[in-house]
A and B are shown apart, each in its own frame.
Chain A
């Protein structure tokens, strides 16, 4: 095994995802701790590696069968890349794509995996990973055993700026295994979201509503608050899954990332997948009856008073 750190690049439609730069920045720091090189594995077709200059070397598996993410093809290829490269540590994003890669790499290559990584460190030559579990309520620090291990990293855990670097790192072309074209699972297309609704990413003031509002009967009250504030109603995922509001209003990992001036979170617990989408709002005010709700770690102001008592009073004060 080597002392190298291998980062698995994530990309969609040719665009490298920010989480890749986040991992590269962190990977650079870890590689200097292990004394190894920082390697970036790119599994795709025609992906431009010029922004991956943070890496010492790129392992480029370029094949038409990898143009669009296919959990079966990509996990087969990643397994063989990791077998050959034998890195000390493989970093994979804990995203929709990365979830399909990290756990399958763990089984296929029989390597330890710690998921939901918020932080990774090398201490006395050991890999230590901190996971965010239980909806963000608990952190768990794990020591990984063995000389090659995997950590899957939550998007937004490290600054992307540290890893976004132009350059022309050495590119090593890796032959794709034959199995790439021989998958049972077939990718049949991408569906882009429908436009037409308000664009919540462009709003200065958002009222984020969560499952705590109880029923869609209470939406008009939340709309009224948004109006009094001169803002728009956005939502956590369950509200959208319940079809109380359209998908265009969803904030978070599988929704939109928003950076308004003001974000008022009503009855939102603050699950990591929601936080990912709104933590950079300038002012966050949270109303949640559970004093241990993780949303309060990210909010600037909070109250555990019932939202149905506070919101009407707030509407009155603002109108």
Chain B
């Protein structure tokens, strides 16, 4: 089967996120982007299926700072083709990204679309569900354990408490992947560099992706700390002592 994986790049959450002077968005000038972790799982699951059943894996990314790197990394891991959508605003809402990806898919042959189940910035909804709805094909969120048997795709959808629902579908489908069956593989930098010499990323300008999402950001802020944690300072020894004391007090009480 031919699998398409539209990926999202999101700000690296390990770094501090700054807010612009107007307080209406992140300060994007110095943001470092990286692949959304659930998209990394979607790529892994797609590659696993390709390795077991043949077919192709195409990765699509919207242009941002690190898109080339993410796409070449996917190629280095075993994807067959990479497409970059250009001319979209860095802060484009997910509806717009979905529409742009949908337009790229219109010219392609595919059986399964796999996205990351959610991304850190999808304020207006998750990419996979939006995409499935625009395409008019079924979508399932929070997916793991995808398998293929002939024309039929089987999958699990996760609920709370470890309960899962099983589904089957024999048509095109969009899957919002939660976790791949194994930890996403790693592509060594040397391999990525080599791929950069051997393969190219296809560029497509975003077309007809203007959708009004019907909401505007009024205020973006870091959560009020509330009471927050009482921070313990000092040497590791002192800190351990203080933690042991609060725990012992609680255990005693």
Contacts and interface: CB of A to CB of B under 8 A. Distances in A.
Interface residues of A, number: 99
B60 interface: no
Interface string B176-192: 10110001000000000
A247 B26 CA distance: 35
Nearest to A73: B138
Contact of A102 (B17, B125, B213, B244): B125
A96 B215 contact: no
Interface stretch (A25-33, A40-48, A166-174, A281-289): A281-289
A301 B134 contact: no
A133 B246 contact: no
A116 B158 CA distance: 18
B223 to A, nearest CB: 5
A68 B241 CA distance: 52
Given A142-B123, A188-B168, A262-B247, A310 B236 contact: yes
B246 A100 contact: no
Summarize A's interface: helix, strand, loop or mixed: mixed
Interface in A128-181: 128-129, 131-146, 149, 152
Given A191-B166, A302-B232, A138 B220 contact: yes
| 5 A-B pairs with the lowest CB-CB distances in the bound complex, closest first | A112-B214, A193-B162, A103-B125, A302-B229, A313-B240
Given A187-B166, A241-B183, A301-B229, A114 B124 contact: yes
14 contacts: A72-B139, A114-B215, A115-B122, A135-B13, A143-B218, A193-B161, A193-B163, A284-B229, A300-B246, A301-B229, A301-B242, A301-B246, A305-B236, A314-B243
A153 to B, nearest CB: 13
Given A193-B163, A242-B183, A300-B246, 9 more contacts: A71-B138, A111-B214, A137-B17, A143-B216, A149-B215, A229-B251, A301-B242, A310-B243, A318-B247
Contacts of A137: 13, 17, 222-223
A192 B122 CA distance: 30
B126 A115 contact: yes
Contact of B159 (A188, A254, A282, A304): A254
Interface in B7-49: 10-11, 13-14, 16-17, 19, 26, 41
B228 interface: yes
Contact of A317 (B41, B226, B244): B244
A256 B126 contact: no
B142 to A, nearest CB: 4
Contact of A185 (B140, B244, B250): B140
Given A71-B141, A114-B215, A142-B217, A297 B226 contact: yes
B228 to A, nearest CB: 6
Interface of B: 10-11, 13-14, 16-17, 19, 26, 41, 95, 117-118, 120-126, 129-130, 132-134, 137-142, 154, 156-171, 173, 176, 178-179, 183, 213-223, 225-226, 228-233, 236-237, 239-244, 246-248, 250-251
B218 A99 contact: no
B120 A135 contact: yes
A316 interface: yes
B138 A283 contact: no
Contacts of B226: 297
Contacts of B248: 318
A116 B250 contact: no
B184 to A, nearest CB: 10
Contacts of A113: 124-125, 213-215
